[in-house]
Structure 1
Amino acid sequence: MSLPSDHPAIDVHTHKGKECPVAGKTHAWCPAQPGDSRSPCPALNTLANHGYIARDGKKLGLFDLVSGLKACYNLSTPLAVFLSIGGFVLLRRFSKLNLHDIGRHGRIEHDASLVHRDTPSGEQYAPIDINHELVEELVADAKTGDEDGPEGPEAGDQRSLMDASDVARARIRREKDSPPLDAVHAEIARGEMAIILGVWETKAGKKTGVPTEWIREWIGHERLPKDWAPTHVQGLKDVVKRAKSIRVEMDEQRLAEKAEKADVVDEAGQVELVVEKPKL
C-alpha cells in the first residue's frame, strides 16, 4: 500500500541521534523511539509505527489522519473524515495535535479498555503501555472458528476467529472490572472494535471473523499482521451496523447470565427447603 501522491511528507524520527532506517522509504514497522508521541489507541499508534502518519506522532493535522486511515486501513472517505473530525471535536483541538493528546481521560479515551488498565484516579492521561495479560484474555474470549469436532477449537487456538459475539463477551468482562461507562463512551468502545471487525474480517471454513493471531499482532504490538492486506473499503454504515450487533450481543449475553444466576439461586433454594424439611 502507498500513500496518495498529495499526502504530506512523513516526518523522520530518530534512533539515538541517527536517522530511522525505514522512515520515509517504506511502510515497514518501526516501534516508537524515545521522544515519540503515542496514544492509548492501537490503531493510531500503528499508523505511526508504519509511517502512514508522522512516525514521531507529533503535529498531526486533520488531513494527516484522514489520509493515513484511508491508506492504511482502506477506510472510506466519509468514515475517515467522521472519525478524524469527531476526534478533534471531542479533544477540543482545532489545529494540530500529538498522539499523546488522544489519551486525555474522558474525552475520546475511556475506562474498560480491552488492552489497557483504567486511568488511575486523579490522572489526566490514560496509560499507553499495552497490558499483555489483557491481550491474552481478549484472545481467549474468541471462540469462533472452524469446527473440527462438537466443541470446535479451544479458546485462543490459532484457528479461532473473533466476531461480534466474542467482542461482546470481552466488553462485558472488562466493564465488570471498571467504572461504569456513559452512553457516549460505551458507543465509542463498541465502535472501536466494530471498525476492526469490518477491516479485517475473513472466513475460515463456514465461520467469519478476525483471526485471533492478527488481533494479537496488531493490538499487542501495534503492528500490521504480515499476511494481511485490505480486500475492501470499510464504510461508515457498516461500522454502525457492526457496533449495533455488538450491543445486541452484549444485551443478550447479559440476559442469559442473569437467567443462569436466577436458575442457580432457585435450585439452591429448593435444596435448602429439602434439607430443612422436618422429619415426620
Structure 2
Amino acid sequence: MPLLESAAKLFRLVYILCWDLSLTLVNLVTPSLKPGRIVPHESPGAGGKWPEFVPPKEGDSRCACPMLNALANHGILPHDGRNIRFTELTQTVRTSYNFASTFCVFVPRYAADLLLKNYKTDTFDLAELSQHNGIEHDASLTRQDAEYDPDQSRVHLPFVNALLACASGKDRAGHVRLTPADVSRYSSTRRAAARATNPAFTLSRTHKMFGSSNSSTLLTILGGRVADVEVFLKEERIPAGWEPRAAHRMGLTMLAFQRTVLKVECAIDEGAVLSEGDAE
C-alpha cells in the first residue's frame, strides 16, 4: 500500500506540473485580465467589492498566513476558521487571489497530506496549518518564532514595520513598493537574528523555500505595494477596491511564481548581515 500511495503521489505531481506548464504557456500567448475583471464577477470581491470585514472573535481559529486569515475575516472562508473543506480552500484562493488552478490544488493537497487528512473529504481548522515545522517555520517575516509565541495567529508588528521600512521601489503609478532585493535583505536579517537568539531554531532547505514563497506572495499577488501589504499584514483585511496585482488570464502559475521565489531565496545572505553588524 505505501508503494502504491507513493506512486499515486508521484503521478499526481507530474500531472500537476504538466498542467501548470500548459497554463503558463497559455498566459504567454493570451492578454492579461483587465482591471476590475480579475476576480470573477460572481465571486466575493468582484470589482473590488469585498464582503464586510469582521475581526476574529474569541474562539475563532486563525493561522500564520495573513492572506488566509483575511479571507476568514471577510467571511469568504468560514468566519470562525473551522471545518473548512480542502476543496473549498482550493476554489476560494483561486477566485480571490488569482493563483492558478494548479497552485490552488497543489498547496491544499500538500496541507492535507501534512495533516494526515483526505483532500477530497476531510476538513480542517485554520490553526492546524500553524503546525510547527509543517508549513509554519522559524524566521517568519511577520511572526515571532514558535519558541517565543506558540500562537502563530498573532502578528508581530515590529517585524512587519521593519519589513515595510525596507521598501525601496516604486511601481509605474508611483506607489512605494517592496522589491525582491528588499525582501531578500530583510529575510537575511530575520534568519540571522532568529538563528542567533532562538535556542530551538531550525530552518531546513524546504522551510527556507516556504519562507521565500510566503514573502514572494507579497511581491506577486500584492504587487509589493506597501499600502496594500501593510493592511494585509497588520489588519489581515482586504483593502476596499483591491484586486490581485497578478492579472494573468490563467492565474499565477507555480512555474511563473518560482521565478520570484528563487530570486528572493538566492539573494538571501545571512553572512552579509553578520558582517555588517561586525563593521558597526
Does the TM-score normalized on the shorter chain lie above 0.5? yes
Taking structure 1 as reference, are residues 4 and 87 closer, same or farther at Cα in structure 2, changes over 3 Å only?
Answer: farther
Q: Report what 1:37 is aligned to.
A: 61
Please report how far the alpha carbon of residue 256 of structure 1 lies from its aligned counterpart in structure 2 after TM superposition. Answer: 5.5
With over 3 angstroms needed to count, the CA separation of the structure-2 counterparts of 1:116 and 1:189, relative to structure 1, is same
Query: Of 102, 111, 120, which aligns to 2:138?
Result: 111
- The equivalent position to 1:160 in structure 2, one of 141, 155, 176, is 176
Unaligned runs of at least 5 residues, structure 1: 8-24, 148-157, 202-209, 266-280
Where do 5+ consecutive residues of structure 2 fail to align? 1-38, 195-200
Deviation at 1:226, TM superposition (A): 2.2
**Counterpart check, 1:139 vs 2:164:** yes
Q: Tell me how far 1:92 sits from its aligned partner.
A: 2.5
Residue 184, structure 1, aligned to residue 206, structure 2: yes
Structure 2 residue 124 is matched with structure 1 residue 97: yes
Kindly indicate whether the alpha-carbon contact (under 8 Å) linking 1:47 and 1:53 is maintained by their aligned counterparts in 2. yes
Q: Structure 1 residues 249 and 99 mapped into 2: Cα distance closer, same or farther (>3 Å)?
A: same
- C-alpha distance in 2, partners of 1:260/1:139? 20
Kept in 1: contact 2:170–2:176 (CA 8 A) = yes
Partner of 2:268: helix, strand, or coil?
Answer: helix
How far does residue 257 in structure 1 lie from its aligned partner after superposition?
5.4
Letter in 2 for 1:139: L
Higher helix share: 2
Q: Equivalent residue for 1:48?
A: 72
The answer to whether the Cα contact below 8 Å between 2:216 and 2:261 also exists between their aligned partners in 1 is yes
Give CA deviations for 1:147-190 in whole Å, capped at 9, x if unaligned.
Answer: 9xxxxxxxxxx942112111111111111121241111111011
Partners of 1:118 and 1:259 lie apart in 2 by 23
Aligned equivalents of 1:76 and 1:42: distance in 2?
19
Residues paired across the two proteins, number: 224
1:248 to 238, 244, 266: 266
| Alpha-carbon shift at residue 134 of structure 1 (Å) | 1.3
The answer as to whether partners of 1:36 and 1:58 remain within 8 angstroms in 2 is yes
Query: Residue 154 of structure 2: which of 129, 150, 175 is its match?
Result: 129
**2:82 maps to which residue?**
58
Residue 76 of structure 1 is matched in structure 2 by: 100
TM-score of the two chains, using structure 2 as the length reference: 0.71
8 Å contact from structure 1 (residues 3, 68) kept in 2? no
Match of 1:154 in 2: none
Once residues 208 and 185 of structure 2 are traced to their aligned partners in structure 1, the CA distance between those partners, rounded to angstroms, is 14
Residue 257 and residue 102 in structure 1: after superposition, are their counterparts in 2 closer, same or farther (change >3 A)?
A: closer
| 3-state SS, counterpart of residue 106 of structure 1 | coil
TM-score (norm 1): 0.71
Aligned to 1:198: 220
- What is the Cα deviation at residue 261 of structure 1? 8.1
Distance 1:104 1:144, change over 3 A: same
Matched residue type, 1:140? A
Report the alpha carbon displacement of residue 127 of structure 1 after superposing the two structures with TM. Answer: 2.8
Which residue does the alignment assign to 1:211? 225
Q: Which has the larger radius of gyration?
A: 1
- Kindly report structure 1 stretches of 4+ aligned residues shifted beyond 3 Å: 1-5, 254-262
